[in-house]
């Protein structure tokens, strides 16, 4: 995704006209909606819609994917961990990047240097992961765990309100 693109790339709101935004909104509700149906509702031919969608995807503005629910798939425990780092934050971030248990990782300014979201099958797995993989890192000075009790809201349609 574009989050990870070099910061020199400049795909901004200004590049997108009303039709592209309308296309995005339709696909945010149903990622498999046919191009011709979208074309009818936004006033473009099917080919034009397809071309725009390709460009939006290639430029990293959006992706069309299946988003799955961890609970339904047996991953019942989630937590956010605030991490305080000594030294190079990016180094720690890079090290954490590969873990399957981590599905969200942000460098922050504040009383934590990193926020790490963890998804696990069980409490046991979660605690083990935090102790053995996070807290055992030398550069990790401190961690604070926030167990998820209930996910109240989650949206993926940033930017188009």
Partner DNA sequence: AGTGAAACGACCGTAGA
Partner DNA sequence: TCTACGGTCGTTTCACT
Residues 71-130 that bind its own copies (CB under 8 A): 71-75, 78-80, 82, 93, 96-97, 100, 102-112, 115, 119
Of 6, 18, 132, 154, the residue at the interface with its own copies (CB under 8 A) is 154
Selection from 94, 101, 150 nearest residue 128 by Cα:
101
Would you say 50 or 95 has its CB closer to DNA? 50
**36 binding partner (options its own copies, DNA, none; Cβ < 5 to 8 Å by kind):** DNA
Which of 63, 88, 128, 142 contacts its own copies by CB under 8 A? 63
Binding part of the chain for its own copies, among 38-46, 69-77, 128-136 by CB under 8 A, reads 69-77
> Which residues, numbered 129-148, are part of the site for its own copies (CB under 8 A)?
144-148
Q: How many CB atoms lie within 10 A of CB 38?
A: 23
77 binds, among DNA, its own copies, none (CB under 5 to 8 A by kind): none
In this structure, what are the phi and psi dihedrals at residue 83, rounded to the nearest 5 degrees? -125, 130
Do residues 59 and 11 lie in contact, with contact meaning Cβ atoms separated by under 8 Å?
Answer: yes
What dihedral angle (degrees, nearest 10) is formed by the CA atoms of 157, 69, 153, 53? 0
CB of 35 or CB of 112, closer to DNA = 35
Kindly tell me which of 48 and 76 has the beta carbon lying closer to its own copies. 76
- C-alpha closest to that of 38 among 55, 54, 14, 20: 20
DSSP state of 76: -
In angstroms, the Cα distances linking 114 to 84, 108, 123 are 7, 6, 22
Q: Is 119 helix (H, G, I), strand (E, B) or coil?
A: strand
Positions in the binding site for DNA (CB under 7 A): 19, 34-37, 43-48, 50-52, 55
- Cβ closer to DNA: 37 or 151? 37
- Determine the interface stretch with its own copies among 37-45, 57-65, 125-133, 135-143 (rule: CB under 8 A): 57-65
């Amino acid at each position: 995704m574009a989050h990870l693109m070099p910061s020199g790339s400049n795909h901004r709101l200004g590049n997108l006209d009303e039709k592209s935004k309308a296309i995005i909104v339709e696909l945010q509700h149903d990622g498999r909606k046919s191009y011709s149906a979208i074309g009818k509702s936004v006033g473009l031919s099917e080919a034009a819609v397809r071309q725009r969608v390709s460009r939006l995807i290639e430029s990293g503005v959006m992706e069309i994917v299946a988003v799955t629910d961890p609970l339904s798939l047996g991953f019942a425990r989630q937590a956010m961990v605030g991490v305080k780092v000594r030294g190079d934050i990016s180094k720690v971030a890079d090290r954490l990047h590969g873990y399957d248990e981590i599905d969200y990782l942000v460098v922050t300014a504040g009383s934590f240097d990193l926020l790490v979201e963890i998804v696990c099958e069980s409490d046991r797995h979660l605690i083990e992961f935090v102790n053995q993989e996070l807290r055992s890192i030398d550069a990790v000075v401190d961690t604070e765990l926030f167990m998820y009790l209930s996910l109240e809201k989650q949206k993926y349609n940033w930017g188009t309100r």
